[in-house]
Amino acid sequence: FFQKTLTAVESWFTLFGWAEGQNPISIPYSLRRDACKVQTPSSQGKVFKQNLGKDTKTLYDMLLHLSGQLLPGGPWSQSLPLDPTERVLQLHWQRAALLAFLKSQGAFLCHVMPEFLLEPDDYRRWVKAQAGPRVSLLSSVLDVFSSERFVLEDSAFEAMSKRAWTDVLLQIYKVFVLPRVSRRGAADPPSPEGAHSMPRITAEPLCSNIYSPYERAVLTWLNDNYEKNRTAVWRDCQKGEVPPVRWILNFHHDLLDGLVLAAQLAAYCPPLIATHFVRMYTNPRTPEEFLHNALIVVSALHAVRLAVDVKV
Protein backbone atom coordinates (compact mmCIF):
# COMPACT_ATOMS: atom_id res chain seq x y z
CA PHE A 1 0.00 0.00 0.00
CA PHE A 2 2.76 2.42 0.91
CA GLN A 3 4.64 1.70 -2.32
CA LYS A 4 1.49 2.41 -4.35
CA THR A 5 1.02 5.68 -2.45
CA LEU A 6 4.64 6.65 -3.11
CA THR A 7 4.25 5.86 -6.81
CA ALA A 8 1.11 7.99 -7.05
CA VAL A 9 2.84 10.90 -5.28
CA GLU A 10 5.87 10.66 -7.58
CA SER A 11 3.59 10.64 -10.63
CA TRP A 12 1.56 13.70 -9.57
CA PHE A 13 4.52 15.85 -8.59
CA THR A 14 6.42 14.83 -11.72
CA LEU A 15 3.52 16.01 -13.89
CA PHE A 16 2.14 19.00 -11.99
CA GLY A 17 4.64 20.11 -9.36
CA TRP A 18 6.75 22.40 -11.54
CA ALA A 19 6.29 25.72 -13.27
CA GLU A 20 7.72 24.73 -16.65
CA GLY A 21 6.33 21.33 -17.45
CA GLN A 22 7.25 17.88 -16.24
CA ASN A 23 10.25 17.16 -14.04
CA PRO A 24 10.76 13.52 -13.01
CA ILE A 25 11.33 12.94 -9.30
CA SER A 26 12.32 9.87 -7.31
CA ILE A 27 11.45 9.68 -3.62
CA PRO A 28 13.61 10.26 -1.63
CA TYR A 29 16.70 10.32 -3.82
CA SER A 30 16.14 13.23 -6.20
CA LEU A 31 14.52 15.37 -3.48
CA ARG A 32 17.43 14.96 -1.11
CA ARG A 33 19.90 15.51 -3.96
CA ASP A 34 18.15 18.51 -5.48
CA ALA A 35 17.73 20.17 -2.10
CA CYS A 36 21.50 19.84 -1.60
CA LYS A 37 23.31 19.64 -4.92
CA VAL A 38 26.91 18.51 -5.42
CA GLN A 39 29.21 20.90 -3.60
CA THR A 40 32.53 22.23 -4.95
CA PRO A 41 35.03 24.37 -3.01
CA SER A 42 34.86 28.06 -3.85
CA SER A 43 37.96 30.10 -4.73
CA GLN A 44 37.86 31.74 -1.31
CA GLY A 45 38.08 28.31 0.34
CA LYS A 46 35.52 29.27 2.99
CA VAL A 47 32.25 27.96 1.60
CA PHE A 48 30.92 25.33 -0.73
CA LYS A 49 29.16 26.70 -3.82
CA GLN A 50 26.20 24.90 -5.30
CA ASN A 51 27.09 23.44 -8.69
CA LEU A 52 23.67 23.93 -10.25
CA GLY A 53 22.88 24.02 -13.95
CA LYS A 54 20.57 26.76 -15.11
CA ASP A 55 17.84 24.20 -15.84
CA THR A 56 18.11 22.46 -12.47
CA LYS A 57 14.89 22.48 -10.45
CA THR A 58 14.91 22.13 -6.68
CA LEU A 59 12.38 21.51 -3.96
CA TYR A 60 12.25 25.25 -3.35
CA ASP A 61 11.25 25.86 -6.99
CA MET A 62 8.41 23.40 -6.46
CA LEU A 63 7.25 25.20 -3.32
CA LEU A 64 7.36 28.57 -5.10
CA HIS A 65 5.25 27.20 -7.96
CA LEU A 66 2.65 25.51 -5.76
CA SER A 67 2.40 28.05 -2.96
CA GLY A 68 3.19 31.29 -4.80
CA GLN A 69 5.56 32.36 -2.05
CA LEU A 70 9.23 32.02 -1.22
CA LEU A 71 10.26 29.98 1.78
CA PRO A 72 11.03 32.50 4.56
CA GLY A 73 14.64 32.95 5.62
CA GLY A 74 16.29 32.14 2.26
CA PRO A 75 18.23 31.96 0.04
CA TRP A 76 18.48 28.23 0.58
CA SER A 77 20.83 26.84 -2.06
CA GLN A 78 23.53 29.45 -2.59
CA SER A 79 26.40 28.39 -0.36
CA LEU A 80 27.28 26.12 2.53
CA PRO A 81 30.18 26.12 5.00
CA LEU A 82 33.33 24.23 4.01
CA ASP A 83 33.62 22.53 7.39
CA PRO A 84 31.67 19.22 7.17
CA THR A 85 30.12 19.58 10.60
CA GLU A 86 29.02 23.18 10.05
CA ARG A 87 27.73 22.22 6.62
CA VAL A 88 25.51 19.40 7.89
CA LEU A 89 24.24 21.55 10.73
CA GLN A 90 23.21 24.24 8.28
CA LEU A 91 21.50 21.63 6.09
CA HIS A 92 19.65 20.35 9.15
CA TRP A 93 18.57 23.89 9.98
CA GLN A 94 17.24 24.32 6.43
CA ARG A 95 15.20 21.13 6.70
CA ALA A 96 13.87 22.26 10.08
CA ALA A 97 12.90 25.62 8.60
CA LEU A 98 11.13 23.84 5.72
CA LEU A 99 9.10 21.73 8.15
CA ALA A 100 8.31 24.76 10.32
CA PHE A 101 7.06 26.65 7.25
CA LEU A 102 4.82 23.77 6.15
CA LYS A 103 3.43 23.35 9.67
CA SER A 104 2.62 27.07 9.76
CA GLN A 105 0.52 26.51 6.62
CA GLY A 106 -1.46 23.70 8.27
CA ALA A 107 0.64 20.61 7.45
CA PHE A 108 0.63 17.70 9.91
CA LEU A 109 4.31 16.76 10.12
CA CYS A 110 5.00 16.41 13.84
CA HIS A 111 6.33 12.88 13.21
CA VAL A 112 8.92 14.01 10.64
CA MET A 113 12.31 15.03 12.02
CA PRO A 114 14.60 17.31 9.96
CA GLU A 115 17.39 14.74 10.03
CA PHE A 116 15.17 12.22 8.18
CA LEU A 117 15.31 14.54 5.15
CA LEU A 118 19.10 14.49 4.90
CA GLU A 119 21.33 12.36 2.70
CA PRO A 120 22.52 9.17 4.50
CA ASP A 121 26.11 10.45 4.81
CA ASP A 122 24.89 13.78 6.15
CA TYR A 123 22.64 11.98 8.63
CA ARG A 124 25.63 10.06 9.97
CA ARG A 125 27.60 13.31 10.28
CA TRP A 126 24.68 14.92 12.06
CA VAL A 127 24.48 12.03 14.56
CA LYS A 128 28.20 12.41 15.29
CA ALA A 129 27.79 16.16 15.70
CA GLN A 130 25.10 15.61 18.32
CA ALA A 131 27.42 13.33 20.27
CA GLY A 132 30.14 16.01 20.47
CA PRO A 133 30.20 19.56 21.83
CA ARG A 134 28.32 22.31 20.07
CA VAL A 135 30.56 23.94 17.51
CA SER A 136 28.73 27.13 16.62
CA LEU A 137 25.82 29.41 17.34
CA LEU A 138 24.07 27.93 14.31
CA SER A 139 24.03 24.45 15.82
CA SER A 140 22.49 25.72 19.03
CA VAL A 141 19.55 27.12 17.07
CA LEU A 142 18.64 23.53 16.12
CA ASP A 143 17.13 22.98 19.55
CA VAL A 144 14.35 25.38 18.59
CA PHE A 145 13.22 22.98 15.87
CA SER A 146 13.94 19.54 17.32
CA SER A 147 13.64 18.71 21.00
CA GLU A 148 13.71 14.92 20.55
CA ARG A 149 16.15 12.93 18.41
CA PHE A 150 16.12 9.33 17.27
CA VAL A 151 19.27 7.63 16.05
CA LEU A 152 18.52 5.12 13.28
CA GLU A 153 20.66 2.28 12.07
CA ASP A 154 21.80 2.53 8.46
CA SER A 155 19.40 -0.21 7.40
CA ALA A 156 16.42 1.69 8.82
CA PHE A 157 17.33 5.21 7.74
CA GLU A 158 16.49 4.80 4.04
CA ALA A 159 13.01 3.45 4.81
CA MET A 160 12.38 6.28 7.27
CA SER A 161 13.66 8.90 4.83
CA LYS A 162 11.46 7.56 2.05
CA ARG A 163 8.41 7.68 4.30
CA ALA A 164 9.30 11.17 5.59
CA TRP A 165 9.69 12.66 2.10
CA THR A 166 6.45 11.02 0.95
CA ASP A 167 4.60 12.53 3.89
CA VAL A 168 6.16 15.94 3.21
CA LEU A 169 4.94 15.87 -0.40
CA LEU A 170 1.48 14.68 0.63
CA GLN A 171 1.22 17.57 3.09
CA ILE A 172 2.49 20.03 0.47
CA TYR A 173 -0.35 18.82 -1.76
CA LYS A 174 -2.81 19.13 1.10
CA VAL A 175 -1.96 22.71 2.11
CA PHE A 176 -1.17 24.25 -1.31
CA VAL A 177 -3.17 22.28 -3.91
CA LEU A 178 -6.27 20.91 -2.20
CA PRO A 179 -7.45 24.37 -0.99
CA ARG A 180 -8.08 25.23 -4.65
CA VAL A 181 -11.09 22.90 -4.54
CA SER A 182 -14.26 24.97 -4.80
CA ARG A 183 -17.89 24.12 -4.14
CA ARG A 184 -18.93 26.34 -7.03
CA GLY A 185 -20.50 24.28 -9.76
CA ALA A 186 -20.74 21.21 -7.54
CA ALA A 187 -23.41 18.62 -8.05
CA ASP A 188 -26.98 19.30 -6.95
CA PRO A 189 -27.89 18.20 -3.42
CA PRO A 190 -28.84 14.54 -3.00
CA SER A 191 -32.36 13.34 -3.56
CA PRO A 192 -34.89 13.89 -0.74
CA GLU A 193 -34.49 10.24 0.28
CA GLY A 194 -30.72 10.57 0.60
CA ALA A 195 -30.92 13.99 2.24
CA HIS A 196 -33.46 12.68 4.73
CA SER A 197 -31.55 9.56 5.71
CA MET A 198 -27.98 10.89 5.57
CA PRO A 199 -26.70 13.92 7.53
CA ARG A 200 -24.62 16.35 5.51
CA ILE A 201 -20.84 16.55 5.92
CA THR A 202 -19.99 19.95 7.34
CA ALA A 203 -17.02 21.99 6.20
CA GLU A 204 -16.66 23.82 9.51
CA PRO A 205 -12.92 24.00 10.36
CA LEU A 206 -13.28 22.52 13.84
CA CYS A 207 -15.71 19.69 13.07
CA SER A 208 -12.94 17.15 12.34
CA ASN A 209 -9.43 16.54 13.65
CA ILE A 210 -8.66 14.26 10.68
CA TYR A 211 -9.78 16.00 7.49
CA SER A 212 -9.39 19.64 6.49
CA PRO A 213 -12.37 21.67 5.17
CA TYR A 214 -11.07 21.10 1.64
CA GLU A 215 -10.87 17.34 2.11
CA ARG A 216 -14.40 17.38 3.49
CA ALA A 217 -15.49 19.33 0.40
CA VAL A 218 -14.18 16.42 -1.68
CA LEU A 219 -16.03 13.94 0.55
CA THR A 220 -19.22 15.96 0.05
CA TRP A 221 -18.67 15.80 -3.72
CA LEU A 222 -18.25 12.02 -3.51
CA ASN A 223 -21.43 11.68 -1.45
CA ASP A 224 -23.44 13.94 -3.76
CA ASN A 225 -22.45 12.13 -6.94
CA TYR A 226 -22.89 8.68 -5.46
CA GLU A 227 -26.38 9.43 -4.15
CA LYS A 228 -27.41 11.20 -7.33
CA ASN A 229 -26.13 8.50 -9.69
CA ARG A 230 -26.30 5.13 -7.93
CA THR A 231 -29.80 4.33 -9.22
CA ALA A 232 -29.10 5.48 -12.78
CA VAL A 233 -25.75 3.68 -12.98
CA TRP A 234 -26.87 0.29 -11.63
CA ARG A 235 -30.53 0.25 -12.64
CA ASP A 236 -29.75 -2.51 -15.14
CA CYS A 237 -26.78 -4.06 -13.32
CA GLN A 238 -25.92 -7.66 -14.12
CA LYS A 239 -24.46 -8.72 -10.76
CA GLY A 240 -26.86 -7.51 -8.10
CA GLU A 241 -29.40 -4.87 -7.19
CA VAL A 242 -29.04 -1.11 -6.98
CA PRO A 243 -26.55 -0.43 -4.16
CA PRO A 244 -28.09 1.03 -1.01
CA VAL A 245 -27.82 4.53 0.40
CA ARG A 246 -24.47 5.04 2.12
CA TRP A 247 -22.35 7.74 3.67
CA ILE A 248 -18.76 8.12 2.36
CA LEU A 249 -16.67 9.15 5.35
CA ASN A 250 -13.08 8.48 4.28
CA PHE A 251 -10.77 8.06 1.30
CA HIS A 252 -9.68 4.46 1.89
CA HIS A 253 -12.22 1.96 3.26
CA ASP A 254 -15.30 3.56 1.69
CA LEU A 255 -13.73 3.56 -1.79
CA LEU A 256 -12.48 -0.03 -1.79
CA ASP A 257 -15.47 -1.56 -3.57
CA GLY A 258 -15.08 0.74 -6.60
CA LEU A 259 -18.75 1.79 -6.59
CA VAL A 260 -18.15 5.33 -5.34
CA LEU A 261 -15.40 5.94 -7.91
CA ALA A 262 -17.62 4.50 -10.65
CA ALA A 263 -20.40 6.89 -9.66
CA GLN A 264 -18.02 9.84 -10.01
CA LEU A 265 -16.92 8.73 -13.48
CA ALA A 266 -20.50 8.10 -14.55
CA ALA A 267 -21.49 11.62 -13.50
CA TYR A 268 -19.13 13.12 -16.09
CA CYS A 269 -19.01 10.32 -18.68
CA PRO A 270 -22.41 8.52 -18.78
CA PRO A 271 -21.47 6.27 -21.76
CA LEU A 272 -19.23 4.30 -19.38
CA ILE A 273 -22.34 2.98 -17.63
CA ALA A 274 -23.38 0.65 -20.43
CA THR A 275 -19.85 -0.35 -21.44
CA HIS A 276 -18.35 -0.88 -18.00
CA PHE A 277 -20.26 -0.20 -14.81
CA VAL A 278 -23.30 -2.45 -15.36
CA ARG A 279 -20.90 -5.40 -14.97
CA MET A 280 -19.84 -4.44 -11.44
CA TYR A 281 -20.82 -6.26 -8.26
CA THR A 282 -23.10 -3.89 -6.34
CA ASN A 283 -22.63 -5.72 -3.03
CA PRO A 284 -19.12 -7.20 -3.24
CA ARG A 285 -18.16 -9.56 -0.43
CA THR A 286 -15.11 -11.54 -1.54
CA PRO A 287 -11.61 -10.34 -2.53
CA GLU A 288 -12.31 -11.60 -6.05
CA GLU A 289 -15.41 -9.43 -6.35
CA PHE A 290 -13.54 -6.39 -5.04
CA LEU A 291 -10.78 -7.04 -7.57
CA HIS A 292 -13.36 -7.45 -10.34
CA ASN A 293 -14.82 -3.99 -9.57
CA ALA A 294 -11.37 -2.41 -9.32
CA LEU A 295 -10.40 -3.79 -12.72
CA ILE A 296 -13.54 -2.31 -14.26
CA VAL A 297 -12.82 1.13 -12.76
CA VAL A 298 -9.23 1.03 -14.04
CA SER A 299 -10.49 -0.08 -17.46
CA ALA A 300 -12.90 2.87 -17.49
CA LEU A 301 -10.09 5.28 -16.62
CA HIS A 302 -8.05 3.89 -19.50
CA ALA A 303 -11.03 4.17 -21.84
CA VAL A 304 -11.34 7.93 -21.26
CA ARG A 305 -7.55 8.41 -21.04
CA LEU A 306 -7.64 9.86 -17.54
CA ALA A 307 -4.87 7.73 -16.04
CA VAL A 308 -3.07 5.45 -18.43
CA ASP A 309 -0.55 4.38 -15.75
CA VAL A 310 -3.07 3.48 -13.01
CA LYS A 311 -2.71 -0.06 -11.68
CA VAL A 312 -5.00 -2.07 -9.44
Q: Which DSSP state fits 40?
A: E
- Span 241-252, pLDDT tens digits: 899 888 888 888
Average pLDDT, integer, range 303-308: 75
- Span 156-167, pLDDT tens digits: 999 999 999 999
- Span 199-232, pLDDT tens digits: 566 656 556 667 777 888 888 889 989 999 999 9
Backbone angles phi, psi at 80, to 5 degrees: -135, 155
Q: Where are the domains of the chain?
A: 1-38+52-140+149-180, 213-304
DSSP-assigned letters across all residues of 239-271:
BSSPPPP-----SSGGGTTSHHHHHHHHHH-TH
Q: Which of 267, 119, 247, 133 lies closest to 194, judged by CA?
A: 247
Least confident of 40-54, 69-83, 89-103, 293-307: 40-54
What sign does the dihedral 116-119-124-125 (CA atoms) show? negative
CB crowding 173-212: b at 16 or more within 10 Å, else e:
bbbbbeeeeeeeeebeebeeebeeeeeebebeeeebeebb
- Other C-beta atoms closer than 10 Å to the C-beta of 81 total 17
Range among 21-30, 79-88, 248-257, 285-294 rated most confident: 285-294
Beta bridge partners of 239: 281
